[in-house]
Amino acid sequence: MNPRVKEVTFQQPHFLLITFSNNERKRFSFLPYIQYPVYNKLGNVVFAEKAHCINGTVAWDEMIDFDPDTLYLESEAIH
């Protein structure tokens, strides 16, 4: 099992700065996902900046979240 999200901060225009439970810090781009209907709202910066950590992942509302494994595996390390 991959580490889970401990903290998240939105970074314009379409990035999340994430600290995982193993204290790794990574940057995740959700731009490729905006094309999918469930993630369309993330194209709106006002909505996207409402990203928050809940239950070990990132969510915006009851309908929009990411699998924590996707966040971990598809993000790039911050040095």
pLDDT for 3-33, tens place per residue? 999 999 999 999 999 999 999 999 999 999 9
CATH topology of domain 5-77: NE0471 N-terminal domain-like (3.30.2020)
Closest CA to 60 of 70, 49, 69, 71: 49
DSSP string, 15-29: EEEEEETTS-EEEEE
Domain residue ranges of the chain, discontinuous segments joined by +: 5-77
Instruction: Note whether 74 and 4 are within 8 A (CB).
Output: no
pLDDT for 64-75, tens place per residue? 999 999 999 999
Q: Residue 65, SS3?
A: strand
pTM over 0.85: yes
